[in-house]
Structure 1
Amino acid sequence: MDAMTGMLLWAAEALTLAFLLIAAWLHNRSHTVMGLWGLGFACHGIGVCLVGLRGIIPDFTSIVLGNELILLGIACWGLGVCVYDGVKVRVWLLVPALLYPIVVCLPQIYPYFWLRSALIQWASAAGYLILAYLLLTGQRPVPYVRRVFALVACCQSLIMINMGVQVLVSKPVAFAQMPNLLMSSVGNIICLLAGLMLGARMLMVKSEERLERAAVTDPLTGVLNRRGFLQRFDIVRQHVASQRTQLALILFDLDNFKQINDQSGHMTGDRVLAEFCATAQSCIGLRGEFGRMGGEEFACVVPIGSRAEAVGLAEAIRLTFMRQQIATEQGTLLSATASAGIAIAGGPIPIILDEMLSRADKALYFAKNAGRNRTALHDGLNISCVTNQRGEDARSGKPLQLNTAISLSHRTAGAQ
């Protein structure tokens, strides 16, 4: 098998892979990584084909355009890794592809086949090293696959560097005189196939992640659904047990939500749900977990140091949400309110999910029956409203001494 035949087979393989990946991307445009990797294989395959047709097509097309497409293909693979990791695109990915056509057209290089050959080998090696760097520094899962993928890219780079050195030493004037060209082509094909399999494994893991995330996420609000919240509850409970602190479970229910849907429309109702979730997540931060239990009912679980901390967090969410102005379908603004029920466990009170849910639910309905838009607490024996609608202590009527979370939420609401 001569060099041209080997390169055309290499090109046919790359183009077949490009067709499969691009077809998968066209079927689901959200798979941007597949589209970029498919484009990379397309550029690579067309470029290798043009290089292999040297002597049949114009030299400039083969020398400059063909090799430039090969470099652009490597850059597309790197761009795909950036998209996969959800990071900003690195502009320096394109440096080898941008510099090559400039340098190869210099009068000191273009007339000499061996100089052009060494240049494309080293430019390609630089592209593969950049790809290996992106794989090793990314934060996505399956690190072992990424490390093997990076090793394959480094092997590909070493093949290119070695070929460039041999070309400089032997100074061939045509493809037929290229040292170890067939072995190099075989090595390139093996690396190409290995990279494809490893990339496919990365895409499979990403798809599995997406499915797992969808299974525990509420599609409307983007927060945890009931299943996801209960899973996270167990994690927080184990952490609290190891730290010997307390755990607060807070249930929220939006007041008169059916009336909002009936009077302002279901789209407005969806906006109210989304606004409440955004408010709650902003107040909770990384301290605990928040999810939608169903309909207009939500839950928060958070480790606490005292009862006042749980009350302060519930009030931070309730009062901040109460001050929000939400656009309706009719172009007007409305305000909505929520009631909260708190159950606390830990210490002498065992942390049992069903019992905490039951106590928090009873406290929530106590707050509803007391007039809505307030917070009630179940202490294990008794239920009482701890705040009124204005956020004051329900017994004394004095302003509640709230924690940092509610102070911050007041400032946030005032700035809107």
Structure 2
Amino acid sequence: MTLHIPTLMLALLLGFLLLTLELGVALRRLHNRPELRSWTWGCWALFAGFAMLAARVVVPVWLSIVLGNGLICLGILMYTRALYRMLLDAPLPRWLIAAFGTSVLGIVVMLSWPMHQRTAIVSMFFVVLLVPAVAIVVRHGWSAERSLRTVAVTMGLAAVALGVRAVHAWLNPGDYTDLLQASLGQGLTFLMSFLSIMGAGFAFVLAVFERVALQMEKLATHDGLTGCLNRSTIDAMLSHALERGRRDRSPVSFVLLDLDHFKLVNDQHGHRTGDAVLRAFARTVRERLRASDVFGRTGGEEFGVVLPGTDASGARRLLEQVRGAVEAMQVRDTIGHPVRITVSAGLAVADPASPISGDRLYGRADRALYEAKHGGRNRVETYSGAESGFFAQEKAPAGAKVPQ
């Protein structure tokens, strides 16, 4: 039994052309995806490489060997580059670029070698370029998009098949007297190697679409500037926490945090500095929360925190830590001037025996925040249910603006 190599070559050419066309359609839909662009260039390089190998009947053999194998090396390198961009947002390491250059130089040096020896060494060059792609997915992408696991498995199979091809060529020189020679060993290893690489390409496209879908889902639930949950999501999480608190008979604390005099930061230091302050503030708060706590941006410079299973005294201890940490934050503007910021907090606690709604608890925290602002800012106030003093503002007209 033998495999007809020219037929295999034609099938691979058509397969990589189909994959490249699919990637072209994907690029039209997904703008600014450098990893997808790199993989597309890799497909074009592989397509051109196989075309050059098949064209040795009409072009000089030495040119077919150098360009064909060199372009295949380049295609594999571009695949690895795409994975580095996707998983690490980093360029290729220099040693891998050096390995590619060494491989091309080795192909030129081996032009006069016997076919079976050249096939064995070039196959190992391909393996050396494939292994880093598998390794980076296993180390950094195995728990990310599931389709990336298929990329790692198929590229790993390609590396194994190429390794088997190298050993088989070295031990069976009679099967490797010509690239187009009909041979079961040569044909089977050739087919398995590059079909696996082609399969990795289709899996990579799925992984990119999977990542885009997750990013769109995150954009729908998170604030783009700070990475916190957005207002609608935190409202839903607060309602869920209240329901669970009633089932577990545990209190739920809700906090509104508002940066003091934040408008002055934007006016005096610029909006870019204001954005930096918001990001630093979000990071400072997040570092002090538990995994079960919920932190979101409710609008502008105001943030909300849901603290399940936390009573008033526990919430106040946390908020005092947050207040002190925010006061000590080190943020500088675009010309290096320090920017000092403080935060006011309004706290409201839901008793598990009380059927209070999320909106009503939010209103209580808002009134406590109002008192913290009028009481001098940079402080924590707890809703007490009193109607005297500033809590009487509950009767003020709707839409009254909280002082900054």
**TM-score, normalisation: structure 2:** 0.75
Q: What residue in structure 1 maps to residue 298 of structure 2? A: 293
Structure showing greater relative contact order (alpha-carbon pairs closer than 8 Å, 6 or more residues apart): 2
Assess, with a 3 A threshold, how the Cα gap between structure 1 residues 384 and 271 changes in structure 2: closer, same or farther: farther
User: Does residue 164 of structure 2 align to residue 179 of structure 1?
Assistant: no
* 1:352 to 1:61, Cα distance in 2 relative to 1, 3 A: farther
After superposition, the Cα gap between the structure-2 partners of 1:375 and 1:95, relative to the gap in structure 1 and judged at 3 Å, is same
Q: Secondary structure at the match of 1:284?
A: coil
Give the deviation of 1:73 after TM superposition: 1.8
The residue identity in structure 1 corresponding to 2:372 is A
Moved more, 133-142 or 198-207: 133-142
Question: Which letter does structure 2 place at the counterpart of 1:368?
Answer: K
Counterparts of 1:283 and 1:384, CA distance in 2: 32
Question: In structure 2, what residue type is equivalent to 1:141?
Answer: A
What are the Cα deviations for residues 281-322 of structure 1, in whole angstroms up to 9, with x where unaligned? 344375633211012211122346553332132223333333
| Residues 116 and 244 of structure 1: CA distance in aligned 2, closer, same or farther (over 3 Å) | farther
Q: Give the AA of the match of 1:276.
A: F
Q: Distance in 2 between matches of 1:329 and 1:121?
A: 53
Provide closer, same or farther for how the CA distance between residues 305 and 111 of structure 1 changes in structure 2, counting only shifts above 3 A: same
- Structure 1 counterpart of 2:122: 120
Per-residue deviation, 1:208? 0.3
SS in 1 for 2:56: coil
Q: Any conservation in 2 of the 1:129–1:154 contact (CA below 8 Å)?
A: yes
Deviation at 1:374, TM superposition (A): 1.6
1:254-293 Cα distance to aligned partner (Å, 9 max, x none)? 3344455556655554444344333323443756332110
Amino acid at match of 1:119: I
Moved more, 95-104 or 164-173: 95-104
Deviations 1:312-370 (A, max 9, x none): 32223333333446556898655343321012346555685334322212211122232
- Mapped contact 1:135–1:147 kept (Cα < 8 A): yes
Aligned to 2:283: 278
The residue correspondences of 1:161-172 to structure 2 (distance < 5 A) are: 161-167=163-169, 168-169=171-172, 170-172=174-176
Structure 2 residue 354 is the aligned partner of structure 1 residue 354: no
2-side partners of 1:285 and 1:184: how far apart?
Answer: 53
Residue 79 (structure 1) aligned to one of 65, 78, 81:
81
Match of 1:406 in 2: none
Residue 192 of structure 1 and its aligned partner are, at CA, apart by: 4.7
- 1:141 aligns to what? 144
Q: Supply the AA of the counterpart residue of 2:259.
A: L
In 2, the alpha carbon distance for the partners of 1:262 and 1:3 equals 71
Taking a change above 3 Å as real, the CA distance of residues 378 and 157 of structure 1, as seen in their structure-2 partners, is: same
Structure 1 pair 239–165 and aligned structure 2 pair: CA distance change class (3 A) = farther
> Which residue of 2 is the match for residue 252 of structure 1?
257
After superposition, the Cα gap between the structure-2 partners of 1:161 and 1:231, relative to the gap in structure 1 and judged at 3 Å, is: farther
How far the C-alpha of 1:105 sits from its partner, in A, is 5.8
C-alpha deviation, 1:53, in angstroms: 2.6
Q: 1:44 aligns with which of 36, 43, 46?
A: 46
Q: Percent identity?
A: 26
Distance 1:311 1:260 in 2: 27
In structure 1, which of residues 309, 324, 327 is the aligned counterpart of residue 314 of structure 2?
309
Secondary structure class of the residue paired with 2:225: coil
Work out whether residues 134 and 152 of structure 2, in 8 Å CA contact, stay in contact via their aligned partners in 1.
yes
CA contact (8 A) 2:157 2:193 kept: no
2:209 is the counterpart of 1:204: yes
User: Helix, strand or coil for the counterpart of 1:38?
Assistant: helix
3-state secondary structure, aligned to 1:177:
coil
Residue type matched to 1:280 in 2?
A: V
Residue type of the alignment partner of 1:307: A
For the residue of structure 2 that corresponds to 1:54, the secondary structure is: helix
- What is the aligned partner in structure 1 of residue 35 from structure 2? 33
- CA drift of 1:15 comes to 5.0
Q: 2:122 and 2:244 mapped to 1: Cα distance?
A: 56
Instruction: Give, in whole Å, the separation in 2 of the partners of 1:263 and 1:124.
Output: 58
Q: From the superposition, tell whether residues 12 and 142 of structure 1 become closer, same or farther in structure 2 (CA, over 3 Å).
A: same
Deviation at 1:126, TM superposition (A): 5.3
Ranges in structure 2 where 5+ consecutive residues have no aligned partner: 391-404
What is the root-mean-square deviation of aligned Cα atoms in Å? Answer: 4.1
Residue-by-residue CA offset, 1:102-155 (whole Å, 9 max, x unaligned): 655667x94211111122234434555554454444244343x34444443344
Aligned to 1:373: 378
- CA shift, 1:384, in A, is 9.9
Write the deviation string for residues 352-401 of structure 1: whole angstroms up to 9, x where unpaired. 5334322212211122232333210125679999xxxxxxxxxxxxxxxx
1:298 maps to a residue whose letter is: F
Q: Is the 8 A contact 2:246 2:353 kept in 1?
A: no
Change (3 A) 1:204 1:346: farther
Contact 2:249 2:353 in 1 (8 A): no
Aligned residues: 383
Q: Structure 1 counterpart of 2:81, which letter?
A: L
Distance change >3 Å, CA 151–CA 220, structure 1 → 2: closer
Match of 1:215 among 220, 228, 250: 220
Aligned residue for 2:343? Answer: 338
CA distance 1:310–1:85, change in 2 (3 Å): same
SS in 1 for 2:304: strand
* Equivalent AA in structure 1 for residue 209 of structure 2: M
Normalising by structure 1, report the TM-score: 0.73
How many Å separate the matches in 2 of 1:242 and 1:362? Answer: 27
Between the aligned partners of 1:84 and 1:381, the Cα distance in structure 2 is 55
Task: Choose the corresponding residue for 1:227, options 228, 232, 238.
Answer: 232
Shift of 1:240: 6.6
